[in-house]
Structures are given as structure tokens and as C-alpha cells.
Structure 1
Amino acid sequence: MPPASLAHPPRWLNNAQLHPAPAPLQRDWLFDQGSLTRRLSQLSQQQFSVLPLQQGWQVLRNDECAALQVPSGSQGWVREVFLRGAEQPWVFARSVAARSALEGSGFDLGKLGSRSLGELLFSDRAFARGELQVCRYPQAWLPESVREERLWGRRSCFWRDGLGVLVAEVFLPAFWSHASNR
């Protein structure tokens, strides 16, 4: 069985559905509507970087297809990165867009390199952000180097003219350790 399939996929919940509520610090970061890149840059005193892990065309997971409103088994562009602060991975981010919507959209996710997708999405006023949802992110979906159970993840979809870009961000223990000391 491929690592992308789980017997019990996560249930993504909005702020009102989440019970019990996470601690105030966690809730603040999970449901913040602003640019995570900007916030991480401030927290790391501008020692922020993006470390690309992998990108390319893949079959999207079922939860991603549902969020992007495309048929199960659809192909899409997948980009996985670490958002790093103070030289450590703080957030694992996975961004996906359906091939059917991406081709011909003029939006090229493949050329981002080590630039932040979040900065691009927040600077393009044509994109509208959908609702933030959170879950305990499946350990099997994380890169091996940061694989841990019960890490908080969040996701939202950015929409522009029929193009949806689903961005999931998983907060790693090193991030919470740094954030709680500030």
C-alpha cells in the first residue's frame, strides 16, 4: 500500500468544529489569516528560508481532490518544502494544484525554487483564501526526518478564476519550542 493512503484519513475541522480547543498559542498560529511566511520571518528575526524537498506531478490524495473539487485520482502538481526559522525546519508545507486547473492558468508552481509560495499567494490580490481547517496530521504523510504523531496541521485553499491551490502546513516541535519562548 502506498504511504499516501491511510486506513483512517484525517478529519479536517474548522475552528468551530474543533473540540477540545488547542492551547491559546496553538490556536493563534493555526487560525491566523495572515501570511505564515511573514509571521515566521518576524519570529525568526528575518532568519527565514524555504528548503524545497520535492515537487512534480503526482496523483493527489483523496482529501486533496475533495478540497480542490476535482475527481478522486486526479493528477496535480505537488510541492513539499520545509519553512525554516533560525536554521531549523519549523513547518512542513505541502502545496497542491490540480493539473486540469493549473495548465493554461499562467501560474507556474514549478518555478518557485526556494521562494515562498505563501508570499506569492498573498501578494496576488486575485487569489481569495478559503476557510482554514486543522487536523492532527498523519505521521505517514510527513518526511521521515520529522515523522512524529499528533502534530498540528492546517490547510486552506486559495482560489483564482477556477484555479485552486491547496496549502497544508504542519507545525513541527522545534517551531513550538521557539514560539513558546517568545
Structure 2
Amino acid sequence: MPHTVLAHPPHWRNAAQLHPLPAVAERDWLFDQDSLTRRLTALSVNGFSVTPLQEGWQTLRLDETRALGVPAQAQGWVREVFLRGNGQPWVFARSVAARSALEGSGLALDQLGSRSLGELLFSDRAFQRGELQVTRYPAAWLPAEVRSEQLWARRSCFRRGELAVLVAEVFLPALWLAAAQPQAVPPL
């Protein structure tokens, strides 16, 4: 599925460049260096799951090619999923890797299915995580069922040798509601 080209694409910023700052609770999630999968698993009291939405070879967006350091219009593997807590979509995640670096790397992104890419990246010590950047994610780039304006998103690039995997995570309203609860309650 081709992506929507925007007249005004988002500007990804690091913590020092961000103004105005998000609320403290949002900053805590946006700039947390630990595994989001582990944090969502804890918040959902082990009710975490991954729902693949689409994956395959696509022309990468311009902001993605720049972040990966590959030519504009480069082909890459694109994987879009919902990270769910107790059945609700809490995070929309889009992960991309340039075809030129992915092929022959030994990383089989096409074999993940409903497993978490984040867990894989955090369990392989050869991957080094780059700087976290945040933006307000364009609604046009979100799946229709969660499309909303001004949602916070973060991204970072995980590198292992020549391979770079760019992971963007969009925090959906249901996550903020769950995170604001004093204590997570396991589902019945």
C-alpha cells in the first residue's frame, strides 16, 4: 500500500529541540530508553499482543530514507503493527529497513508474524539504539480505525553493522487512558 505524500511532512526532534514540551507523563513514555514491549507487557499485566497490519517491500518515505542514510525512493521492508494491551490498540508501530542493507543481513523481518520486533532488537546486544526523536504524527499515515490528529510519536534507529532498522511508535489515546490508571487490573 503506497504511503500518502504530505505537503508538510513531520519534523522529528530530539529532547533538546522539542518546544513546547509534552506533559511529564507523556515525556516519560516518549523518551524512555528501555523496551516499549516490556513496558506495555507490564502495564497490561501480561495482556500484551502484536497484531500485524501489513508488511512487505515498499518505496520508503523521504523522512525514513534520510534517517536511514539511503537514497530517496529507496526500497525497504515495511512492517506496520498494532501493539495491544488487553486487546486494545495502544501503539501503532511502523518499522522499516532498507532493502540494500537488509538482504543478506540474517535478520528475517518477514518471519516475525505476531512476535514483537522490539523484543528481538533489545535481546540482540549487537544492535545499538540511536537517539530518540519525537513528533506529532500525521493522521494521514495512520490506519483508518485509529486516525487522529496530533498524536505523539517517537522513533529511533537500531544499528548492527551496515544494517539499520528505523522503528516509529505512535502512542494512541487508549494507552494514555491505561497509563493514567492508578493500577492495572488483569482482565477477567
* TM-score between the two structures when normalised by the length of structure 2: 0.95
Cα distance in 2 for residues equivalent to 1:19 and 1:177 = 24
3-state SS in 2 of match to 1:58: strand
Structure 1: segments with no counterpart, 5+ residues: none
Match of 2:23 in 1: 23
Cα distance in 1 for residues equivalent to 2:113 and 2:119 = 13
Match of 2:5 in 1: 5
Match of 1:162 in 2: 162
Deviation at 1:157, TM superposition (A): 0.2
Cα distance in 1 for residues equivalent to 2:68 and 2:10 = 16
Change (3 A) 1:77 1:3: closer
Match of 1:101 in 2: 101
3-state SS in 2 of match to 1:15: coil
3-state SS in 2 of match to 1:65: helix
Say whether 1:32 aligns with 2:32.
yes
* TM-score between the two structures when normalised by the length of structure 1: 0.98
Cα distance in 2 for residues equivalent to 1:78 and 1:4 = 14
Cα distance in 1 for residues equivalent to 2:3 and 2:87 = 28
Say whether 1:54 aligns with 2:57.
no
Deviation at 1:4, TM superposition (A): 2.4
Deviation at 1:86, TM superposition (A): 1.2
Deviation at 1:3, TM superposition (A): 4.3
Match of 1:76 in 2: 76
Structure 2: segments with no counterpart, 5+ residues: 183-188
Q: Where has structure 1 moved over 3 Å in runs of 4 or more?
A: none
